[in-house]
Structure 1
Amino acid sequence: MEVRRWIDGDESAGDMLARFSIERPFLLLPPLHRVPLRVGNVVELVGPSSSAKTLILIQAAIGCILPKDWNGVNYGGLGRLVVFIDLDCRFDILCLSTMLKHRIKEANGLLVKTNVERDHLDTQKCDERRKPHVDYDEELYALCMKRFLYVRCCDSFEFLASLKTLHYQLKQVEAAQQSSVYLLMIDSSIGAFHWVERASSFTQSSTHRKSLSLQNVSETVVQEMRKLLRMHPMLVIATKTISLGDRYANENQRKKSFPDTTSTHKVPYREYMPSVWQSFVTHRILIRASDDPATVRHQQICSVYLSEWLLPPSSLLDKFIVKDGFIFIVP
C-alpha cells in the first residue's frame, strides 16, 4: 500500500527536497561545516593527540540527540540516536553530560553569565561547576542521554564482535526509542589495537587463530560496516591518531615557496591504514593545534585549533576554539 501510494503520489520539487531533508538531514557543525555531511558518508577525523577530536565528536553527538523543538524551545537538534564506540576506554561521560546541560541551559537562557562562572567553567577539563539556582530541563536531559548508546571495546575481537551484533541491538533500541540511528562514531583511533596486537603476536605460540594483522582487521571492519550501513543508514565519523612530525612543516614550506605549483594532493602525514579502509572513507579532515593562542572576551586565553579538508581537498584553513561547551570559528 505504501509503495502504491508513493507511485501514485504527486509532489513538487520543493516538497520532495523538504521531505528528503527531514528524513536524511545534513550535519552542519563547526569545524565540519564546510562540506555538508549526511547519511552514507564516512568521515575520518585525522590529527595528533590532544587536537580536540573527541570534543568534536561530543559536539556532533549533542547536536544529534537534542530535539529540534521541545516545550516551545528551539534546540536545533535532530532528535536521533547516536552510537559511540570507544576503542581506548577513556571516554569521559561527565564531559558529555556537562556539555549537554550547558546546551540545554543556553537554549533556555538559564546560564549565569558572570566573570566568576566563566573563569571556573573549563570545558576541556570537563569540570562540572554550576550554581545551585541554575536549573535545566531534567526530562529533556534524560531523554537525550537515552539516545546516546555507548559501546566499549578493549581489543580487535571485541570491536569486530560489536560490529557483528550491533544490528540486533539497534533494532531493539530503535523500537524502544521509536527513533532511528543517525550517527556512528568510532573513537579514539580506528587502528587503535594494531601496535599492541602486533607486539603481543610475537609472544603467542598458538597459530590456530587467524592473524590479527591490520590488513585482516581492516578488511573485516569495512565488510561489517558495509553490512550495517545497508540495514541502518548512518553517518559514520571515525577518528585516527597520527604523528605530523616535520612532514607537515615541510609541506607548508613547499606551498609558501611554490604557491602556483599544481600537483596531486598528498596528505601531510604517513598513512598507516590499509587501502581497503582508505577507499571506504568518503571525507577526511585534518585537525591540529595551533601555536598561537586566541584572546576572547574578558581577556581569556583559549587554545586555537586548525581544521583542513583533505578529502575533498580544499585550500581553506579554519581556526576554531572550544569554550563553554561550544565550538567557535575564529577569524
Structure 2
Amino acid sequence: MDYQCKAETGVQLLARLSTRPNLNSLNDTLFPGGINLGNVIEISGDSGCGKTTLITQFLVKCLLPKTWNEFQIGGLGAGAIIVNTDHHFQILKLVSMMESLLTKCQVSANNETKFPRNIDCKIIEKIIKESLSNLIILNCYDSLQLFVTFHSLSHILSCNANTNLIIIDSLSAYYWQDAAAGGVRKMDLYLKKTLKALQSCIEEYKVATVYTKQTHFQSKVRFTDDCTATPGLGNITYKIQLNRVGSKEADLFSAEVSTPMSKYSHQYTISDEGLVWVK
C-alpha cells in the first residue's frame, strides 16, 4: 500500500487553521444564499452603472461592526483589501456612505430604553475611524506593480486574520498596456490569466474575491462560461452585469446575476447611499 506524506509550511498551517469572519450577509439582494469564503465575484458594466458604488457598499457592510454598545449597526466587523488600479474608488465616498448608514442606526429593541435614540456625531466618528483601520488600500499604476501587489497579499493576509475580502477595481486596467508590450491579446484569456495569478498567491487563505471589468472586455470568440466550469483556480462563482434600463437619461438600472445554478435580476437606482433596490 502506498502512503503519501503531504508537507506544509507554517504559513500554510496557520492559514488552514485560522477562522475568518463569514460573508453570509454581504448583500442579501444579490446573494440570497450568502457568500462563502473563497468565492469569486465578477462585476461588469459600462461607465456610470454603479460598479465602484457597489463595491463601496460591500466595503461599508464588511467594515462596520455588527453592534456598538447598545446600537445595532448590521455590519460584519471584518477587514478588507482594495487593490485600486482604475483609481475610481474614493475614500470620502466610503466615509459618506458609512455616515449615512450609522445616522439611521438606533438603540436595539432589546434595550430597555423607553425612547429609541440615534447615534450621535462623536460616536459615528469613532466607529468610522475604527472601521477604516481594518481597510488596506493598495494603489497600482502599471501591470508590474499589480503582479508585485498580488505576491504581497499572502504576507498581508497572514498578518490580518480578520480580513476576508479582496476587491480589485478593476482587473482589466492594464490590458492595453500589456497587449502593446506583446502580451495576451484575447481579452477573456487575459482576464482569466490575471485572475489565476491573483488566486495562486492567495489560495492558502480562504477569502472572497471581487473584481470589476468593463462590459466590452471580452473576446470576439467567446470562451466557455466560467460559471459553468468545474470549481478551481480562475473560475467565477457569481457574475453580476450592471445595465442601464432605457435611454441614457434614465435613472433606472438592472443587475443581472448569473451563478452555476441560476440566473436572476434586480432593478435599482443610484443615490448618495449607494445602490437602492427597486421592489
Same fold (TM > 0.5): yes
Q: Who is 1:213 aligned against? A: 184
- TM-score between the two structures when normalised by the length of structure 2: 0.74
2:42 match: 44
Match of 2:257 in 1: 309
> Which deviations, in whole Å up to 9, do the C-alpha atoms of 1:295-327 show, x marking residues without a partner?
xxxxxx982210112233645321112334143
Matching of residue 287 in structure 1 with residue 248 in structure 2: no
SS in 2 for 1:107: coil
Q: How does 1:189-228 map to 2 (within 5 A)?
A: 190-199=171-180, 201=181, 211-213=182-184, 215=189, 218-219=192-193, 221-228=195-202
Distance apart, 1:234 and its partner CA: 0.8
**Identical-pair percentage:** 21
Q: Which amino acid aligns with 2:92?
A: L
Q: Secondary structure of the equivalent of 2:81?
A: strand
What secondary structure is seen at the aligned counterpart in 1 of 2:104? helix
Kept in 1: contact 2:65–2:77 (CA 8 A): yes
Q: How does 1:170-319 map to 2 (within 5 A)?
A: 170-172=157-159, 174=160, 179-188=161-170, 190-199=171-180, 201=181, 211-213=182-184, 215=189, 218-219=192-193, 221-230=195-204, 232-243=205-216, 279-291=234-246, 303-312=251-260, 314-319=262-267
What stretches of structure 2 of length at least 5 have no aligned partner? 1-18, 108-119, 228-233
Structure with a larger share of its residues in helix: 1
Distance 1:223 1:324, change over 3 A: closer
Query: CA offsets, 1:240-275, max 9 Å, x none?
Result: 11139xxxxxxxxxxxxxxxxxxxxxxxx7578977
Give the conservation status (yes or no) of the 8 Å contact 1:89–1:154.
no
- 1:85-141 CA-to-partner distances (Å, cap 9, x unmatched) read 1111232111111111111112148xxxxxxxxxxxxxxxxxxxxxxx966522111
Aligned-partner SS, 1:40: coil
The 5 A counterparts of 1:91-110 are: 91-108=89-106
Runs (4+) off by over 6 Å:
271-278
The equivalent of 1:79 in structure 2 is 77
Instruction: Measure, in 1, the Cα distance between the counterparts of 2:222 and 2:145.
Output: 19
CA distance in structure 2 between the aligned counterparts of 1:99 and 1:91, rounded to whole angstroms: 13
Inter-partner Cα distance in structure 1 for 2:250 and 2:106: 26
| Aligned with 2:154 (options 167, 175, 196) | 167
Give the distance between the partners of 1:319 and 1:276, measured in 2 at CA.
24
Measure, in 2, the Cα distance between the counterparts of 1:233 and 1:227: 12
Distance 2:141 2:201 in 1: 23
Which structure has the larger Rg?
Answer: 1
Structure 1 unmatched ranges of 5 or more: 1-20, 110-132, 202-210, 245-268, 294-300
Q: Residues 288, 104 of structure 1: CA spacing in aligned structure 2 closer, same or farther, 3 A cutoff? A: same
Structure 1 CA distance for aligned equivalents of residues 69 and 220 of structure 2:
48
Deviations 1:167-205 (A, max 9, x none): 213333x2xxxx5111110113x2221113323x2xxxx
Q: How far apart, in 2, do the equivalents of 1:139 and 1:29 lie?
A: 25
Cα-to-partner distance string for 1:268-304 (whole Å, 9 max, x where unaligned) = x7578977987521221211112279xxxxxxx9822
Residues 4-15 of structure 1: pairs in structure 2 closer than 5 A: none
Match of 1:26 in 2: 24
SS of the residue aligned with 2:105?
helix
Match of 1:158 in 2: 145
